[in-house]
Amino acid sequence: MVVEIRGVGSHNKGSEMMLLAILQELKSEKVKFTVAPQKDICEYGFYSKLGLYPKLWCTYKKIQLGRLGRYLPVKIRNLYGLVTEEEVNLILDASGFAYSSQWGEQPTANLAVSASRWKLAGKTLVLLPQAFGPFNTEKIKRYMKIIIENSSLIYARDEFSCTALKNIKEDKKIKMCPDFTVLLQGVKPPYVDAWKHKVCIVPNQRMIDKSEQSPNYERFLVKVIKTCQSKNITPFFLIFGGKEDKNLASRINSLLENKVEIIDEENVFHIKGIIENSLLLVGSRYHSLATGLYSGIPTFGTGWSHKYQYLFKEFDFEEGLINIDTPETQIHRIFSLGLNETSRADLRQRFLKKAEDMKVAVKEMFREVNQLIKKNYESLTSYRR
């Protein structure tokens, strides 16, 4: 039984968190998990440590060379741990947020073509909890309809996404389930200091290239950092999105008289541990905000799509999503709310209770996916007999 995981990798920490949560909940001796390379990035070192098998899949000048892999003798493929498209039985798509007019039509068009091909070949497609929509053109709606028709299960992460899908095609296979990284437990790294690492700031380059308010984003983070410093509270940057977010943090530092430490941690569990041990979080990466809320940390965010709005709505803390044009007095109010012992305790209790409810929903989602994997496995073994 071979299961392919799509849309995940080491390119950002949120994507890596999703991959680790999938493996934590679904890994089995009966299942071989495979991943295809993303674009031209060599991630073999990353995947091999997790026990994932590389899929033979490589596009060169718009020609898919991976299909030639089936002509390699099975003995050689097994020797090098290579998996072909034909060997994959079930596909788990964990793209997070790719199928939307905000990313253009191409990602949705690509999946529509693949979904049709997989269905004809007898493969099963599951779209794990993620954000969908908006779908603003008839063309992208047509692509998404093809995906729905050729999938076995589709989990939308929020009400907006669920409605966007059901407006295209009402189908009982479309369900709602919150972000599944809630099941991962963080580990506090030894270098974290309660005095030095109080306010965690997570920048996001997407706030500049996807948001209409982009010119003000850097100025907003400068205001946040200066507010921290005026209260003698030490802020620090935590990098979620790789090199581009690290460059953004460096640019913001160049605007400050008192520079801020930049933590570019590789270990995802340490990243969660850093957030869990922060006094307060101000961020723009979705999974950083989700981690803060799950952990009962006063969390304030900025966002560029509906997924941010609905994350805070799910925690009944819509005031936590702030406008980057908010005046400095409002930023001081945010810090007062987050640092006051009474309000902190109230937020913590509310957030942790909600997180427990979400864990129950996510466990049920993984139970359904496990059932589907088991059904596929039993069908395969029965066929081979």
- The domain that holds 163 is classified in CATH as 3.40.50.2000
Q: Mean pLDDT over residues 199-214, rounded?
A: 87
Name 153's bridge partners: 126
List the domain range (segments joined by +) for residue 72. Answer: 2-181+360-384
104 and 244 part of one domain: no
17 and 86 part of one domain: yes
* Residue 194 lies inside a defined structural domain of this protein: no
CA 144, distance to chain mean position in Å, is: 20
Distance CA 119, CA 1 (A): 17
Q: Mean pLDDT over residues 220-226, rounded?
A: 96
Q: Which residues contact 223 (CB under 8 A, 6 or more apart)?
A: 328, 331
Q: Give residue for tokens 């460059």.
A: 247
Q: Which of 57-71, 102-116, 205-219, 290-304 has the lowest mean pLDDT?
A: 57-71
151 and 221 part of one domain: no
Q: Which stretches of 169-284 are DSSP H helices?
A: 206-209, 217-230, 243-254, 268-276
What pTM does this model have?
Answer: 0.94
233 and 302 part of one domain: yes
Residue 107 sits at φ, ψ, to 5 deg, of -60, -40
Residue type, 215: P
62 and 161 part of one domain: yes
* Residue 333 lies inside a defined structural domain of this protein: yes
* Residue 144 lies inside a defined structural domain of this protein: yes
Q: Mean pLDDT over residues 216-222, rounded?
A: 94
232 and 334 part of one domain: yes
**pLDDT tens digits, residue range 306-356?**
999 999 999 999 999 999 988 888 898 888 888 899 999 999 999 999 999
Q: Which residues contact 52 (CB under 8 A, 6 or more apart)?
A: 5, 33, 34, 35
Most distant CA pair in the chain: distance in Å? 72
State the pLDDT at residue 384.
61
* Residue 157 lies inside a defined structural domain of this protein: yes
Q: How many structural domains is the chain composed of?
A: 2
Distance CA 340, CA 333 (A): 10
Helix (H) or strand (E) holding 124: strand 124-130
173 and 227 part of one domain: no
Residue type, 343: S
156 and 224 part of one domain: no
Indicate if the pLDDT at residue 383 is higher than 70. no
Q: Confidence class of residue 213 from pLDDT cuts 50, 70 and 90? A: low
24 and 173 part of one domain: yes
* Residue 188 lies inside a defined structural domain of this protein: no
Nearest to 283 by CA among 265, 263, 261, 299: 299
* Residue 187 lies inside a defined structural domain of this protein: no
State the pLDDT at residue 21.
97
102 and 28 part of one domain: yes
Residue type, 249: A
Pairing of strands 261-263, 280-283: unpaired
Distance CA 227, CA 224 (A): 5
State the pLDDT at residue 385.
56
Name 91's bridge partners: 4, 125
Name 2's bridge partners: 32
241 and 322 part of one domain: yes
State the pLDDT at residue 330.
86
* Residue 186 lies inside a defined structural domain of this protein: no
Q: Which residues contact 303 (CB under 8 A, 6 or more apart)?
A: 207, 284, 286, 309, 321
CB 284 within 8 A of CB 303: yes
In the chain, the percentage of residues whose pLDDT exceeds 90 is: 77
Helices (H) and strands (E) in the chain, counts: 14, 14
Q: Which of 198-202, 260-264, 379-383 has the lowest mean pLDDT?
A: 379-383
* Residue 36 lies inside a defined structural domain of this protein: yes
Q: Mean pLDDT over residues 51-57, rounded?
A: 90
340 and 364 part of one domain: no
